[in-house]
A and B are shown apart, each in its own frame.
Chain A
């Protein structure tokens, strides 16, 4: 579903991604760990078509991203650090608007169902500016899947969610996984990260430092490598970007 070949990205004088090769089959749930500045967000930004790679190729569903980026963008849903929501529009208006951007046919109907799914039906007609951070994040998740994407990219989606909201998100992700959506999730928390993952990738210094399928045997290795490469280096969780 997703194929990366020698993907490189240079920002300023720095090789943020220094050659990434990766193949993610359809329906796989991949969790990406990595210390701050490892290039996780950059990787997802390139996959979502927000950034252009400096070198290498990205293929989505067999087609090269650069050749047909507009059409391929329709396959992808993104939960980023930012919600992408309009403060002055209501929850429903935001979803319907993004639905139209993705050419969703029955956008209002689908928007209502999604609001139900993330537990925001009651607030459908309230402007987003009145929402708490957690509510905005839930709405952002609904926004990301308004067009039933085949690929979901989630960059630290648990940020800003309290425990209950976190459980809602986990439930949502599980359902997407069951529907066969290919998911790439960046996470900081080890247990949260491996809970649903079929596969774990650790990025460090712009390269793949670990790439393991999650099994009961491999879990110890993954944890060791996580502690070594990521664990100690986390002073705080960056919510910016």
Chain B
């Protein structure tokens, strides 16, 4: 237990360092974008959180399947941990998206496919967490959450496609986030930021799993005390 804890600590420091480096790359190393100006620097962490939010929800999906097949609580712990982090990342995406859109396009919210899908994702996984809180009994909680985790993730591509086409029908309103031509420096900053946030995700996941395991231990001790 202690050894694993120290690994986590080391990873934590590494992530902290990487975040500082990423800040440097984003604000100093990468050049200012010509048309959008400094506000474009939001792009790096926006994409980094978005990508890792999707990763987190994919992990929820895989863990949900594993839980249903094995019934082992281990996978459920990973699933709930990943869902919470995913919701946090998604929230960041939904905050940074409008912050970026406002100065560039003059509007806070664009109903573009990616941002809107992210919003729906946020709703699905917040519902996932609310569902967990509403189910009694740990086994049933894990089972129901796993089932919803699968349904929710299977839905994502269809949601994306339908929103994409839906917007496509109103060409005058279509505003996409693509169309930025990235210089090599920008690409370096982007890739480094994405990797850093992936490491951050891994770190948070490990911490969250450890916390859940401790909560399990406490529960067991209390049960023993109750029976004694």
Contacts and interface: CB of A to CB of B under 8 A. Distances in A.
Interface in B95-153: 137-139
B219 interface: yes
Most central of A11, A12, A13, A14 by chain B CB within 10 Å: A13
B41 to A, nearest CB: 50
A13 B137 contact: no
Contacts of A13: 219-220, 223
| Contact-size category for B | under 10
Interface in A170-185: none
B68 to A, nearest CB: 13
A13 B216 CA distance: 9
Nearest to B220: A13
Contacts of B220: 13
Interface in A12-65: 12-14
Contacts of A14: 223
Nearest to B224: A13
Nearest to A10: B139
A11 B137 contact: yes
Interface residues of A, number: 4
A36 to B, nearest CB: 15
Nearest to A11: B137
B105 to A, nearest CB: 52
A12 B139 CA distance: 7
Interface in B187-224: 219-220, 223
Contacts of A11: 137, 139
A13 B226 CA distance: 11
Nearest to A13: B223
A13 B139 CA distance: 10
Interface string A112-144: 000000000000000000000000000000000
A221 to B, nearest CB: 28
A13 to B, nearest CB: 4
Interface in A141-189: none
Interface in B32-88: none
Nearest to B216: A13
A208 B217 CA distance: 29
A13 B221 CA distance: 10
Interface string A1-15: 000000000011110
B158 to A, nearest CB: 33
Nearest to B227: A14
B12 to A, nearest CB: 31
B27 to A, nearest CB: 50
B226 to A, nearest CB: 9
Contacts of A12: 137-139, 223
Contacts of B138: 12
A21 to B, nearest CB: 23
A14 B220 CA distance: 9
B215 to A, nearest CB: 12
B138 to A, nearest CB: 6
A13 B223 CA distance: 7
Contacts of B219: 13
Interface of A: 11-14
10 contacts: A11-B137, A11-B139, A12-B137, A12-B138, A12-B139, A12-B223, A13-B219, A13-B220, A13-B223, A14-B223
Given A11-B137, A12-B137, A12-B139, 7 more contacts: A11-B139, A12-B138, A12-B223, A13-B219, A13-B220, A13-B223, A14-B223
Which 5 A-B residue pairs are closest in the complex by CB-CB distance? A13-B223, A13-B219, A13-B220, A12-B138, A14-B223
